[in-house]
């Protein structure tokens, strides 16, 4: 039986789901990672995909890592260093090799012998009525378990596919997941795929429709229950004011520039002064420049250049990013 949840913002959805996964609708289940509380067949509907940030989750999200993930996916990357700089513990979940086996962007833009985003763009541009636009992430040849039931890799994709349809001049997006960690995964998955939805809508000169998220297993590990919580009042002020929707040429240009900036940020040989000088000369559109502000601020923080980190965030005009980054800084300051 499907269980449906509907809200205007991702944070409102999160609050509904928080009650559900901790309530009687969830069942207890034993897994390889420990005992979980699980909602089967959860369907989420997000009315305004631009309001993708979940501010009520505690501990606070690492917003720089979430934004780096979007760039990594859009540009088709699979190199581990691009992400582990912002979240070193990622190797615990995805393996410690130089690349990540299940990288979504690599699978969408390179694997299977074609760029699926490119094909979807051209197909919908030529035939907006098409119901055949499926972006495939799951590869049965390498992702299905071995005959003895053991996984073939540590980083088997949780996201299976995306379904894109145009309705009344709006791009509707349905994301299908086989497994979804409520605390650790869901907030990031919503950011990742609503960004893709908005980006592709911009390529096609369409409005952004609803975002639908189908999770066959939405769960949390009981060992994590004491480490996470929800603070609803803290989620009301993370309203996104930026749009990533622009022409394909402009979109690809800006994301390529952002990817190059991340490559520079994660280079340990470069000083914060060099990075700041390069940032001042960068030619990014305002919404993309705000993303760069967050990434450079985190790069400066990790170089212990607190003043420069603050200066980067002062240039950011997106209040949601500012609030999310401030909460992240409060989180890491308690750990130091």
pLDDT in tens, 210-228: 999 999 999 999 999 889 9
Whole-prediction pTM value? 0.96
Say what the pLDDT of residue 261 is: 98
Residue 165 reports pLDDT greater than 70: yes
Beta strand extents in the chain (DSSP E only): 3-7, 27-31, 34-46, 57-58, 134-136, 159-167, 170-177, 180-181, 207-221, 229-230
Helix (H, G, I), strand (E, B) or coil at 22: coil
Q: Look up tokens 């700089």; give the residue.
A: 85
Could you report the per-residue pLDDT of 233-260, keeping only the tens digit for each?
888 889 999 999 999 999 999 999 999 9
Say what the pLDDT of residue 93 is: 86
Residue 286 reports pLDDT greater than 70: yes
Residue 321 reports pLDDT greater than 70: yes
Residue 335 reports pLDDT greater than 80: no
Say what the pLDDT of residue 235 is: 82
The tokens for 49 are: 């995909």
Residue 33 reports pLDDT greater than 80: no
22-31, 128-137, 149-158, 191-200 — which is least confidently predicted? 22-31
First to last CA, the chain: 46
Say what the pLDDT of residue 336 is: 64
CATH superfamily of 3-235: Thymidylate synthase/dCMP hydroxymethylase domain (3.30.572.10)
Mean pLDDT of 21-29: 89
Say what the pLDDT of residue 283 is: 94
Say what the pLDDT of residue 302 is: 97
Mean pLDDT of 74-79: 98
Could you report the per-residue pLDDT of 297-319, keeping only the tens digit for each?
999 999 999 999 999 999 999 99
22 pLDDT tier (thresholds 50, 70, 90): very high
Mean pLDDT of 60-73: 98
What backbone torsions phi and psi does residue 331 show, to the nearest 5 degrees? Answer: -65, -50
Residue 61 reports pLDDT greater than 70: yes
CA dihedral 165, 171, 172, 177 (to 10 degrees): 90
232 pLDDT tier (thresholds 50, 70, 90): confident
The chain-wide mean pLDDT, for the chain, equals: 95
CA distance linking residue 310 with residue 296, whole number of Å: 10
Better-scored residue on pLDDT, 186 or 33: 186
24 pLDDT tier (thresholds 50, 70, 90): confident
Residue 110 reports pLDDT greater than 70: yes
90-104, 123-137, 186-200 — which is least confidently predicted? 90-104
Please name the residues in contact with 137: beta carbons below 8 A apart, sequence gap of 6 or more.
Answer: 104, 107, 108, 157, 159, 160, 161, 162
């Amino acid at each position: 039986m499907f269980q449906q949840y509907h809200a205007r913002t991702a944070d409102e959805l999160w609050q509904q789901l928080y009650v559900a996964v901790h309530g009687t609708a969830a069942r207890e289940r034993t897994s390889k990672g420990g005992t979980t509380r699980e909602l089967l067949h959860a369907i989420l509907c997000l009315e305004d995909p631009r309001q993708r940030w979940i501010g009520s989750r505690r501990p606070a999200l690492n917003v720089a890592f979430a934004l780096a993930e979007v760039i990594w996916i859009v540009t088709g990357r699979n190199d581990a260093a691009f992400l582990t700089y912002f979240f070193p513990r990622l190797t615990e979940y995805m393996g410690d090799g130089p690349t990540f086996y299940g990288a979504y962007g690599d699978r969408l833009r390179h694997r299977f012998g074609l760029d699926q985003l490119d094909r979807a763009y051209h197909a919908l541009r030529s035939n907006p009525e098409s119901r055949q636009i499926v972006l495939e992430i799951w590869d049965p040849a390498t992702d299905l378990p071995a005959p003895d039931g053991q996984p073939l890799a540590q980083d088997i994709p949780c996201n299976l596919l995306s379904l894109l349809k145009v309705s009344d001049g709006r791009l509707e997006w349905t994301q299908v997941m086989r497994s979804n960690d409520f605390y650790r995964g869901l907030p990031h998955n919503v950011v990742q795929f609503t960004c893709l939805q908005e980006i592709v809508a911009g390529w096609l000169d369409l409005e952004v429709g609803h975002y639908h998220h189908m999770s066959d297993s939405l769960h949390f590990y009981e060992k994590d229950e004491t480490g996470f919580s929800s603070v609803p009042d803290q989620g009301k002020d993370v309203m996104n004011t930026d749009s990533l929707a622009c022409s394909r040429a402009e979109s690809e240009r800006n994301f390529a520039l952002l990817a190059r900036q991340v490559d520079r940020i994660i280079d340990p040989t470069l000083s914060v002064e060099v990075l700041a000088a390069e940032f001042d000369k960068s030619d990014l559109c305002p919404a993309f420049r705000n993303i760069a502000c967050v990434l450079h601020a985190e790069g400066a923080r990790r170089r212990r250049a607190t003043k420069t980190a603050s200066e980067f965030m002062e240039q950011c005009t997106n209040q949601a990013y500012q609030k999310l980054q401030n909460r992240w800084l409060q989180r890491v300051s308690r750990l130091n």
